[in-house]
Amino acid sequence: MTVVYRVGMPLLTAGCLAMLALILADNGWLSALASLDPATVQSFKLLLLGIILETFPFILLGVFVSALLQVFVSDATIARLTPKHPVAGVLFGSLLGLLFPLCECGMIPVVRRLIRKGMPPYIGMVFIFAGPIVNPVVFTSTYTAFRGQPGMAYARLGLALAICVVLGLLLSRFLKRNPLKRDAYELAAANNGATSIYEHDHSQGAKGFWGRMAATLAHASDELFDIGKYVILGAFLTAVVQTSVDREVLAGIGGGTWSGSAFMMGLAFLLSLCSTSDAFVAASFNGIFAPSALLAFLVFGPMVDLKSVLMLLGTFRTKIVAAIVLLLFALVLGGSLLTAQLWL
């Protein structure tokens, strides 16, 4: 996994940079490339920038809302509000995203803090998986992307909620040990002294209203870069696939119901898109893949993808992460086919 990440990401970006060098240098290479097929280069540019421009409003909205909450609402308040009964707790965790429309990238550090502050781990973990989907920003962007099929936005929300409730109930029953990596804190202290991630409380970090507003802007513009690189990478891969692979080839994979869903889930895992913007990418595969496959993409991606697994492994014990990922894969695969059968 880590190998894929370590090798894949630099390779892809090396490709980006190589192209960039070609464009900037313009020493005959560019004209050679252009003479090959300028139309393809143009299509690539139109698709790449189309996706990026389309996602900007949603990323910015998510980043700013998340930053505002991060700075203005203390974790202790949330920990205090958390119910004690498992079923109520699981529902609370699944629906917390309605109040905290965080992206999955902003989710894990927050949950880690919440668990340290006394939130039951199973609730925190359900929040990690439900939050990126069951929230108003993501619903709006999905609804916008699938204007022709409003059922998709509802199906995405409903299926994610159902799966997270199942996951939460299982965790509340079987998760006895603390799922956090025991030495994460000490490790961080030994490595770079950045323990502030674990103990920093935003409500006290910044002073006064303007101090907090500045902190919000700081958080938002930094997070924009953290998330932006994944969005651009995702847009890049999507544009490459769409300009170079024939529709028939994709349709061949997407033809089978099981293989189509599994393929789109794999794609969602690799692309690691932000949940606020992945609906636009999914919509671009509309008509090539069955609705069940698109639904699987939309539900699995925000829960489990390359970057979130890496973040999870850094925070939680490996066994727990592996068990949850396998469980989620099975639930999303089955659930998307069933939901599409009944609803879409």
Partner 1 sequence: MAGSDRRRMVHYLIRAVLLGGFALFIVQLARGDGLSLYIAPRMEPFVKLSALALYASAIYQVYAAFRASKGQQAADCGCDHEPPVSIPKNVIVYGMFVLPLALGFLLPEATLGSSLAAKKGMTFAGAETLANARSGERAAPSLPASGNGGGDANASASEAMFPSDEYTASYAVYGKQLYAQPAIAVPDQWFIETLTTLDLYRKNFIGKQVELSGFVYRDEAMGADQFAVSRFAMNCCSADSLPYGLVATFDNAAALRKDSWVKVSGTLEEGQYDGGTILQLLVTHIESIRTPDSPYVYPDYNFDKQFE
- Would you say 245 or 326 has its CB closer to partner 1? 245
Q: Which is nearer to partner 1, 95 or 114 (CB)?
A: 114
Select the span of 171-179, 280-288, 314-322, 323-331 touching partner 1 (CB under 8 A): 280-288
- Compare residues 164 and 299 and give the one whose CB is closer to partner 1: 299
Is 133 near partner 1 (CB under 8 A)?
A: no
Q: Rounded CA gap, 138 and 151, in Å?
A: 14
DSSP state of 133: T
Q: What's the min distance (Å) between Cβ of 249 and partner 1?
A: 10
Q: Is 47 in the site for partner 1 (CB under 8 A)?
A: yes
CA distance 131 to 182: 24
CB atoms within 10 A of CB 102: 30
Minimum CB separation of residue 334 from partner 1 in Å reads 19
Cβ nearer to partner 1, comparing 243 with 261 = 243
Kindly state the tokens that stand for 235: 């847009």
- Least distance (Å) from partner 1 to the CB of residue 41? 7
Binding mask 137-156 for partner 1 (x = CB under 8 A): -------xx-xxx-------
**Which of these, 221, 215, 287, lies nearest to 250 by C-alpha position?**
287
Q: Kindly give, in sequence order, each residue whose CB lies less than 8 Å from that of residue 79, ignoring residues fewer than 6 positions away.
A: 114, 117, 118, 119
Instruction: Closer to partner 1 by CB, 127 or 280: give it.
Output: 280
Instruction: Map the footprint of partner 1 across residues 51-80, applying CB under 8 A.
Output: 51-54, 56-57, 60, 64, 67, 70-71
Strand partners, 151: none
- Which of the 8 DSSP states describes residue 301? H
Nearer to partner 1, 54 or 305 (CB): 54
Please choose, from the candidates 109, 168, 106, 98, the residue with its C-alpha nearest in 3D space to the C-alpha of residue 133.
98
Q: Which of residues 202-241 bind partner 1 (CB under 8 A)?
A: 202, 205-206, 211, 214-226, 228-229, 232-233, 235-236, 238-239
SS3 285: coil
Q: CA 22 to CA 213: how far, in whole Å?
A: 42
CA–chain centroid gap for 152, Å, is 18
Q: Which is nearer to partner 1, 70 or 135 (CB)?
A: 70
Q: Please, which of residues 24-43 interact with partner 1 by CB under 8 A?
A: 24, 37, 39-43
Residues of this chain, 96-125, that bind partner 1 according to CB under 8 A: 109
**3-class SS at 180?**
strand
- 281 closest CA partner among 9, 42, 51: 51
> Which positions from 287 to 326 touch partner 1 by CB under 8 A, shown as an x/- string?
x--xx-----------------------------------
